[in-house]
Amino acid sequence: MTSSFQALGQHADRAASSEALGQHADRSASFQTPVQPAAARPPSAQPSAAVPSPVTAPAPLTQADIDREMAELHAAAQQRISAGAVLHHPPRDYAPYRSSLLRHPRQPLVAVGGDPDAVELHGPVFGVTDVTALDADLTRQHLGEPLGERITVSGRVLDRDGRPVRGQLVEIWQANASGRYAHQRDQHPAPLDPNFTGVGRCLTDDEGRYHFTTIKPGAYPWRNHLNAWRPAHIHFSLFGTAFTQRLVTQMYFPNDPLFRHDPIFNSIPDDRARQRLIADYQHDLSSPEWSLGYTWDIVLDGPSATWIEEGR
């Protein structure tokens, strides 16, 4: 497959700045004025013996801090929903997800010149080659077998009226079984798998169905707060049949203990919408002695639409 590993850089969440962690020193600390030589100072200006106290950095946020913030925001969102509010997307700025403040422009946009490959992209780049069956089987893209639990992921792509969307290009990318992406910015100490690229694509059939064989991704740490971990997930990208149907989202796995601690998953205020991002285990889709099966339908628009990734 001709996908570009270097274009996988969707993980600015791991590279969140130290400011998002609350680990930076107090930048507002005042500078000391220059000290005059003792002979040039009048007696009244002699320095006192007091020693200034050192400036200490604020303590990093803990998981308990983040959990408390998310609980308060969930309660406020449920009050709005109970009052009749209709919420379609996660908020652009979600306080528990510290780097959400850094993930959208604050200044006017500027043109980026030079080498287009120098611009980090949100997902993989496949080029202009045809989609083949090998693209949809992430376990057969290299000479050896990838490590980890094989899974089959299948579902239907539907419009707002429940009609299948045929011939839809579905692209995915994910971490390997150790929770590491095949991308130069992912440098956390987990092993890379030389037999796993972590990207795939397919076209939906006449029933709007897609089908992937892959490896279940692992959880991984990120720098949102102290001891922050992301639940296992697979990124999906679809263009739909209209501009309003463009979708980049994440599929999660059932019963993940990290759900309650993850600010990205919990940035979706509506619990029903969060649940629609979780795949269902389907034993009939599992292959004997080969893979476990999961189903996950994607709705491109309408009141039951699959929510977009991080509200952007």
Identify whether residues 92 and 136 lie together within a single domain: no
Q: How far apart (Å, rounded) are the C-alpha atoms in residues 183 and 192?
A: 10
Query: Do the domain assignments include residue 173?
Result: yes
Which residue of the set 11, 201, 233, 276 is catalytic?
233
Which residue of the set 181, 210, 252, 294 is catalytic?
181
Closest by CA to 247, choosing from 296, 282, 295, is 296
Q: Where are the alpha helices (DSSP H) in the chain?
A: 18-21, 63-82, 263-266, 271-275
**Structural domain containing residue 201:** 119-311
State yes or no: is 235 an active-site residue: yes
Identify whether residues 306 and 218 lie together within a single domain: yes
State yes or no: is 220 an active-site residue: yes
Which residue of the set 235, 261, 274, 276 is catalytic?
235
pTM: 0.69
Query: Do the domain assignments include residue 165?
Result: yes
Check residue 310 and give left, alpha or beta (phi > 0: left; psi -120 to 50: alpha).
Answer: left
State yes or no: is 188 an active-site residue: no
Query: Do the domain assignments include residue 110?
Result: no
pLDDT category at 8 given cuts 50, 70, 90 is: very low
Which residue of the set 150, 230, 261, 274 is catalytic?
230
The set of residues, in sequence order, having a beta carbon less than 8 Å from that of 235 and lying 6+ positions away, is: 10, 123, 172, 173, 174, 248, 249, 250, 309
Instruction: Extract the runs of DSSP E, i.e. beta strands, from 195-307.
Output: 199-203, 209-215, 220-222, 228-230, 233-238, 247-252, 280-281, 292-295, 298-299
State yes or no: is 166 an active-site residue: no
Burial classification of residue 32, based on how many CB atoms lie within 10 Å of its CB (0-12 exposed, 13-18 middle, 19 or more buried): exposed
Residue-wise pLDDT tens digits, 40-97: 555 555 555 556 666 677 788 888 888 888 888 878 888 887 887 776 667 777 777 8
Residue-wise pLDDT tens digits, 237-285: 998 877 777 899 999 999 999 999 999 999 988 889 999 999 999 999 9
Q: CA dist 29 to 16, 32, 60, 166, 174, Å?
A: 24, 9, 19, 60, 42
Closest by CA to 265, choosing from 274, 253, 254, is 274
Identify whether residues 23 and 68 lie together within a single domain: yes
Which residue of the set 94, 210, 220, 252 is catalytic?
220
Identify whether residues 275 and 166 lie together within a single domain: yes
